[in-house]
Amino acid sequence: MKSILLQIAMIALSCTMANAQTIKKSGPFRCGGWNDDFRQLRDLHWNVEELDLSEADCDSIRQNALHSRHNLKKIILPNKTRIIGSQALFACDSIESILIPATTERIESRAFGNCTGLRTLTVLASTPPQLAEDAFSGVDLSKIDLILPNGTKKLYKNAKGWDQFFKKVTIIKEQCPEEYALIPIPNNITYSNSQPLLTTHLGNIVAPAQLANESERLKEVLTERLGITKFNKSKANINLSIDKSLTNPEAYKLEINEKGINIVGGDAVGVFYGIMTLDQMLIPDTENGKLTSLKGVSIEDSPRTKMRELMVDPCRIFIPFEDLKDMAKEMARYKMNALHLHLTDDQAWRIEIKKYPKLTEKGSFRVGMDDMQMPIGGFYTQEQMKELVAYAAKYHVEIIPEIEMPGHQVAAIHCYPELTCGAVEIPIRTTCGVSDNLLCPSNEFTYEFLQNVFKELSTVFTSKYVHLGGDEAGNPPLECWSGCESCQALLKKIMAEPGIKPQPGSRNDNWRLQKYMFDRVIDYLHKELGKVPMFWYETDFHEIQPGCVTFAWRHGLTATAIDAAIRCDAKIMLCPGEHCYLDYPAAKGDMPEVNWGMPTTSLEQTYKLDPAWGYDKNFEDNNLFGVAGTLWSECINSTERLYYMAFPRGLALSEAGWSLQKNRSYNGFLQRLERISKDMHRRGICTADPQ
């Protein structure tokens, strides 16, 4: 009880401070432990613009202390500051000036990364603090006025890290590495003894018209990595072609020798993945590096699973439209091929439905996500989603929409109460957890509503897949229907049908009402829209309908879900919580520090996922569909934090879904990750440090 009262008191405090633009904190300062003062300043005071910590009794700005607080314009660090931790002020891009106290001894990796608005940096320490080389990653140091104590300029000019402020930016020419750092690791890679290929000879792209898109993607790679802007006038060809003898359309072959580069794919997507492998081969070691040569190599590669997916949740915290496009492009670099959009939930409805305008008029805005009392609003128009689908297709990423049923629909019920039993009027949910309010399976309006929604979305999303949710339907599960006379009448009718027998292990017979709802909707999706339904597996799904894909997600129930898929001859996507829930912290004390009791999912734990899950080749060939990482956003309140949670664990997941088990090694992955992580940081992509 004391813990609950404390949480209520803290929420009340955050509400009273929600409009505060300036905060001055002095005296005792809690740093570390659950919900410390940094976490409260970062997440509860969502609109603070000026923060004065000069008199705070604190000697370190801990890791992620004020991560991605875009409203923060001015900060005064504690006078006692010794250490400024990794990503402490990452992406605080409205801050124009920072003063580093005289007591500062160390500034860690990306402490001020992506602080692109920074113009004045005043350092009071007479001895240069230890500065990580990438402490200011993503920041143009030439735009920063560095103010130092009198007589210390020479010391700083010769100090590692600080010397970057005094150097003129020049391109560093680098030789190709002895071995390429590639994620996911290819099936077969053989290095040749041929002479290296000079990158100055590249630029001449030879490709058929059907690979016009892939030619454009290759030009993007060559421009970004090598600065090439003029094409078709170079000495060495890059040949792109399709070979239908490669039976997997995503398969590719890549060969590099002193004469040029050949990339062959089973289809256009295979050619694209060969280009993405080349992109990683061209990653330099240093900030301003550029490879002058490429080592001769031959690669034959194809994916282990059909789909490698990331799911993002814009319902709890809205994700800006342009950021979805960026995510699609970034995940494609690592051969992930599906972006799953969780578009509806208890906390919001995020997609425009023209027949039901109240869904976005009333259902897309609220104040609060648990103890974060900030306004959260936004939705995607159908035109925006069409644009996203077309953009992602350029990178061979499929956009899969999810519309929940029968639970996680409070936002829709708030707008249209007739969707639930008794037409109960309820507010939009502002906390996480499970609602008892479900769609009513005995009301014809429920089916009219769902069919109209899916019909409109079928003209927006070209993917043949559509996700129906199906998880956490009430607490206790499915009990919403027990007190509904019409639902019980429908259940009685169903139970009277020939061949219906009690199901051993069922909590009640209401699961048949859920099956009735799913059968009707799935039948419509199959016959009228030509879609393949997906849903989260629950033990209440005693029968998986033919032609569906089910997701194994619940911690500890993966084998149960796989057995059900095999029994019903269904496809299954693996996203078990113990490996694939990327919204969980990667280490104890990492973001999110305060949550509803999440366990940790370490990078190594994610990497350990074996999609076969100990089953035989028959399962892998006939039932295994792919792997998915989930990014539920109850605690992810900025795009930078979305990336932080997604990567590098998303890279581990991509390798689990793509690469042969015999080629995988966690130590080898970490070695390859080092080069790729540095590249992501240089490009402004926020990632967690490997733990």
408 is catalytic: yes
If one counts every other C-beta atom within 10 angstroms of the C-beta of residue 379, the result is 21
Please check whether residue 56 is in contact with residue 27, taking contact to mean a CB–CB distance below 8 angstroms: yes
70 is catalytic: no
DSSP type of residue 440: -
Q: Which of 45, 408, 414, 467 is catalytic?
A: 408
Cα gap 341→466, rounded to integer Å: 10
- Could you tell me the CA-to-CA distances from 580 to 495, 627, 690 in Å, in that order? 38, 8, 16
Please check whether residue 316 is in contact with residue 637, taking contact to mean a CB–CB distance below 8 angstroms: no
136 by Cβ neighbours in 10 Å (0-12 / 13-18 / 19+) ranks as buried
Cα of 580 vs its chain's centroid, Å: 11
Q: Each residue of 554-586: b (16+ CB within 10 Å) or e? A: beebbeebbebbeebebbbbbbbbbbbbbbbbb
- The two structure tokens encoding residue 119: 């113009």
Q: Which of 323, 472, 578, 604 is catalytic?
A: 472
DSSP type of residue 175: P
- The two structure tokens encoding residue 593: 């520090």
What letter represents residue 557's amino acid?
L
Cα of 188 vs its chain's centroid, Å: 29
Residues 224, 228, 234, 237, Cα dihedral to 10°: 10
Please check whether residue 553 is in contact with residue 577, taking contact to mean a CB–CB distance below 8 angstroms: yes
DSSP type of residue 199: G
- For residue 106, what is the enclosing H or E element? strand 106-107
Please check whether residue 35 is in contact with residue 58, taking contact to mean a CB–CB distance below 8 angstroms: no
- The two structure tokens encoding residue 190: 């053989």
45 is catalytic: no
Mind telling me the catalytic residues? 345, 408, 472
